[in-house]
Amino acid sequence: MTTPSKSEKVKIWLREYLNEFKEYTGTLEELSSLANASPYLIKKVISELEEEGFLKAESKRGKGLTITLVEGEASEESSVPAAETGKAVEIDAAEEKKKKEKKKSLQDQVLTSLLGKDIVVFLISGTRLEGKLLDFDNFTLSMTAPKGKSLVYKHAVATILYE
């Protein structure tokens, strides 16, 4: 039997907390202190539970965070018969897979379609770079340039031209 990951433990704790109190109002740091986890992990768990439809989170600048339990969630869990649980898990897994496919950002879609193609990148400094897009990640673009390969940080990119 494997022990649950820290993420799973925090997810379970947050579910129990919201089932008991129905709402959390405070800062992310206060919540992370209550859950004994990092703010990054708390954000990740909140977004996962929000995607699952368990909770709704609102962040208000300077006013903290408000997390509310989605109505009917606690009662729905207990009303599912044991025989239907397996089917429900299969359906949830299929829906989650579809959501992840739809969640792909426009930026990722465009850059994926441009892999191996010629592009022109204008940096915020005004510099123009031309070449083929080799690869990309969350923060950088890897492309060929006349003098070799270049690694371009996305935060420095103003515009990308392509056909």
Instruction: Evaluate if residue 161 carries a pLDDT over 90.
Output: yes
* CATH number for the domain running over 6-79+92-102: 1.10.10.10
74 pLDDT band (50/70/90 cuts)? very low
What single string gives the DSSP state of each residue in 29-69? Answer: HHHHHHHTS-HHHHHHHHHHHHHTTSEEEEEETTTEEEEEE
- Ranges of CATH 2.30.30.100 domains, the chain: 106-161
Q: Can you tell me the distance from the alpha carbon of 108 to that of 154, in angstroms, rounded to the nearest whole number?
A: 12
- Per-residue pLDDT of 133-158, as tens digits, reads 999 998 999 999 888 999 999 999 99
Within the chain, which residue ranges are assigned CATH 1.10.10.10? Answer: 6-79+92-102
Q: Are 49 and 15 in contact (CB under 8 A)?
A: yes
Task: Please give the average per-residue pLDDT across 35-57, as a whole number.
Answer: 88
149: Cβ–Cβ under 8 A, 6 or more apart, which residues?
A: 134, 142, 143
Q: How far apart are CA 129 and CA 76, in angstroms?
A: 55
Highest mean pLDDT among 27-31, 36-40, 77-81, 132-136: 132-136
The answer on pLDDT for 76 being more than 50 is: no
CA–CA separation, 158 vs 162, rounded Å? 14
Q: Is 28 exposed, middle or buried (0-12, 13-18, 19+ CB in 10 A)?
A: middle
**So what's the pLDDT on residue 79?**
44
Name which residue leads in pLDDT, 77 or 4: 4
- Hey, what CATH topology would domain 106-161 get? SH3 type barrels. (2.30.30)
120 pLDDT more than 90: yes
